[in-house]
Amino acid sequence: MTARRKPSAEERDAIIIPLRPRTEPRWWDDDRARHLRDRPEYCPHCGGSIIGDGGIAVEYWEAENRIYHCWCRDCGWAGDIIRVERMIGHEPEH
């Protein structure tokens, strides 16, 4: 496993530069900004960065759920990450 550092702000901006100059707002700008804001940045298995060339975080939807399918280049982990607003669990009796 190779430890990855968090990309600098300049490196992160370089990753998301649009392919062509933007002259006016596009209908998907809000979704794009939300995707970039909410996407997982670190592997839940090893903690390596999964943005840029460290892996992938592809968003898809099931009903109202936003799901990020992620893959980590460092450890090979792949899986889905779902953001939840509230989680109700149980604690086993001691």
Smallest distance, Å, CB 52 to Zn ion? 14
Residue among 66, 89, 72 nearest 2 (CA) = 72
Site for Zn ion contains 81 (CB under 5 A): no
Site for Zn ion contains 51 (CB under 5 A): no
Residue among 33, 76, 73 nearest 49 (CA) = 73
Site for Zn ion contains 56 (CB under 5 A): no
Please give the helix or strand (H or E) that residue 29 lies within, else none: helix 29-38
Smallest distance, Å, CB 79 to Zn ion? 10
Among 12, 35, 45, 66, binds Zn ion (CB under 5 A): 45
Could you give the C-alpha distances from 51 to 6, 39, 82, 92, in angstroms and in order? 9, 9, 17, 37
Among 4, 43, 57, 68, binds Zn ion (CB under 5 A): 43
For binding to Zn ion (CB under 5 A), which residues are involved?
Answer: 43, 45-46, 48, 72, 74-75, 77
